[in-house]
Amino acid sequence: MLSSSEPSQIKLQAANLEIRRLRAQDVPDIMEIESVSFGRHHWSEESFYNEMNNQVGRYYALIHTDINKLVGYLGFWLIADESHITTVAVKPEYRGNALGELLIGHCLDRCAQHTIHWVTLEVRVSNYSAQNLYYKYGFASMGIRPKYYQDNQEDALIMTTPNISSAEYRQLCKDLKQKLDKRLNGLPKGYGT
């Protein structure tokens, strides 16, 4: 996963957004974002079609409803009491306006409804913007997977939440959700559902 620090141009509010399950017809829009976000070794169309049929997978699209265009997406697996975030990305011109946060918040809300206790992921050691997003949501660095990324042999940082059903973590999510609600003038249709 690559680092992203592009300046953002397009700011959206909750009323112009919707989160819904990913559909096969979203894949071409996703491929555009994949290639600019993850370089040559991004997921293929086939990976997304397969993942949409994965029994343990949950994949969501973030839609700019004014133009009916996908501007972000996120996927995760639910396995026993753990969830693993497999992918998350926001279209470059929409970054820096809390949409990545919206997707992560949505994921954590969904996981809490599935009696998940821990949420984990891997992120490139150089991807500070994504790491900051995860730190904001209480993920901690648990170690390194050496040479995890095949394109440049970069190490992955393994990041994990504390127990998301703990009172402390629920309070953190509540506080962040309130701030997000204020920043986006509400929460979009489909958030947490």
Ligand X SMILES: CC(C)(COP(=O)(O)OP(=O)(O)OC[C@H]1O[C@@H](n2cnc3c(N)ncnc32)[C@H](O)[C@@H]1OP(=O)(O)O)[C@@H](O)C(=O)NCCC(=O)NCCS
Q: Which residue is nearest to ligand X (CB)?
A: 100
Between 116 and 123, name the residue whose CB sits nearer to ligand X.
123
Q: How many helices (H) and strands (E) does the chain have?
A: 5, 7
What is the pairing mode between strands 118-124 and 82-90?
parallel
Residue 101 binding ligand X, by CB under 6 A: yes
Q: What angle do CA 152, 60, 184 make, to 5 degrees?
A: 100
The tokens describing 145, both together, are 């997977």
User: What's the closest the beta carbon of residue 114 comes to ligand X, in angstroms?
Assistant: 21
How many residues are given for the chain?
193
Between 37 and 83, name the residue whose CB sits nearer to ligand X.
37
The three-state secondary structure class of 36 is helix
Residue 83 binding ligand X, by CB under 6 A: no
Residue 17 binding ligand X, by CB under 6 A: no
Residues engaged in binding ligand X (CB under 6 A)? 1-2, 4-5, 37, 88-90, 95-101, 123, 127-130, 132-133, 136
